[in-house]
Amino acid sequence: MKITPVILSGGSGTRLWPLSRKSYPKQFVNLIGAHTPFQASARRLTSANGLTFAPPLVLTNADFRFIVTEQLADAGLAPGAILIEPEGRNTAPAVLAAALHVAASDPDGVLLVAPSDHDIPDSKAFHDAVTRGLEAVAEGKLVTFGISPDRPETAYGYLELSTQPDGSGAPIALSRFVEKPDASGAAEMLAAGNYLWNAGIFLFAARDILAAFETHAPALVEPTRAAVAAAQADLGFLRLAPAPWSTVEEISIDYAVMEKARNLAVVPFSGHWSDLGGWDSVWREMEPDARGVVAGDRTTAIDCRDTLLRSESEHLEVVGIGLEGIMAIAMSDAVLIADMREAQQVKKAVTALRAKEARQATHFPKDHRPWGWFESLVTGPRFKVKRIHVHPGGRLSLQSHFHRAEHWIVVEGTAQVTVGDQVHLVSENESVFVPLGIKHRLENPGRVPMVLIEVQTGAYVGEDDIVRYDDMYARGQGERG
């Protein structure tokens, strides 16, 4: 039996600010280990241990579509379908769209739906749990996975089982979903023994989940079906039709279907799991030392306890002295310092920053594009200095600007530059000037990354001052296209 992994990858991860932001959320950043959470999720859902997986079906938004393909390629994985949501509508419409897509070619196809930002280091143990879940799927059940709790956690929802797990990992009937509890409620559920953390991972046949939507959330079905049926192919992506999608209710799969269905089974999972939902989770996953301290690169901890120090900038050294229960995360444009007990409240900082229209609330210092990335180094009233990194084979759009001229200095690799009707190569330590209003293009014809320093001068240096005439990535107008 071949299983289609469905990876949900559209969230913003505000509780891990400042490293996770709307423009580049936590599933795509290196939180722990050598791979991003998205890459680790995709690698976990590949054929092994007696299971056969199809290439992953990914649901994401337009801004992340090239990040998804780049990170899969870097992990040595080929994608299946990549469905582009015109706007985020929560997990129920996303899962429904995936089920409709799979059912179009195989109504009995099995889907394994998983978030893109969880940490499950023991893939074999997880695959064994999926194998046990397939037994319930064969009986027409909708399967969810519950994590055996090891502490009274208030940040997770819970699953109440009809009986206590016997240690075999066999599927158990679900009694009810439980919202995130307070501390006393979490302690009571931990002591009871028949409650598991809700992992938000599901396994079912396309036919069965579609029947569940028809029964319990029929209003979602027709607009989602219309969005899938009218989807447009775009450079290997599949863009769901925006008009019907905009009418779909924004609702989670739990509220829309799972809490109402009566054919649910829960597979207990006792292996290690984390949703990486806050800096306290990251601190636990990074294995604190005997004093409870995690001090990453470019940090120094002196007489600290139960503390996380982390610097994400090569130019910033973070030093903590006499700290206890503190998390300090520094980036080139923002620093978070907070009580570890308040880790779940970091999203309030994002809300406050949005209210004051601070760019740091949503925008990552490095702005990722399909051809590479750039970062702003210095910005003044009539100028901006940027570092631009172009991948081998990367090619910026043919473009012009109304308000700025640009000076390019190549510092690594070789650039092929188009300015007006002239095309020529620019090597390290060479420069070129692009006058205001002139059509121009930058590309990397080499086999190594190309890096240049760009100095913009003019009355306005915003990223939205761009007109695209030709683009190999089929982006439209606007800052990102």
Please report, for the domain that includes residue 410, its CATH number.
Answer: 2.60.120.10
What pLDDT, on a 0 to 100 scale, did the predictor assign at position 479?
62
- Is residue 480 a part of any domain in this protein? no
State the DSSP code for 14: G
Where the chain has pLDDT below 70, the residues are: 478-481
C-beta atoms surrounding 375 within 10 Å: 15
- Is residue 359 a part of any domain in this protein? no
Read off the pTM.
0.89
What pLDDT, on a 0 to 100 scale, did the predictor assign at position 481?
47
What pLDDT, on a 0 to 100 scale, did the predictor assign at position 235?
84
Token readout for 426 is: 């620019």
Measured in whole angstroms, how far is the alpha carbon of residue 270 from the centre of its chain?
Answer: 25
86 and 228 share one domain? yes
Could you report the per-residue pLDDT of 176-227, keeping only the tens digit for each? 999 999 999 999 999 999 999 999 999 999 999 999 999 999 999 999 999 9
C-beta atoms surrounding 310 within 10 Å: 23
207 and 311 share one domain? no
Point out the domain boundary residue: 324, 349, 374.
349
**Domains: count for the chain:** 3
- Is residue 110 a part of any domain in this protein? yes
- Is residue 361 a part of any domain in this protein? no
Point out the domain boundary residue: 297, 320, 349.
349
169 and 314 share one domain? no
53 and 9 share one domain? yes
264 and 298 share one domain? no
**Enclosing domain of residue 57:** 3-269
What pLDDT, on a 0 to 100 scale, did the predictor assign at position 1?
80
148 and 260 share one domain? yes
H helix intervals, 146-241:
183-192, 206-216, 218-229
β-pairing, 172-178 with 264-269?
A: antiparallel
Q: Contact, 311 vs 317, CB < 8 A?
A: yes
What pLDDT, on a 0 to 100 scale, did the predictor assign at position 13?
80
101 and 179 share one domain? yes
379 and 341 share one domain? no
- Is residue 250 a part of any domain in this protein? yes
121 and 182 share one domain? yes
Point out the domain boundary residue: 315, 349, 383.
349
Q: For residue 85, what is the domain's CATH number?
A: 3.90.550.10
- Is residue 274 a part of any domain in this protein? no
421 and 300 share one domain? no
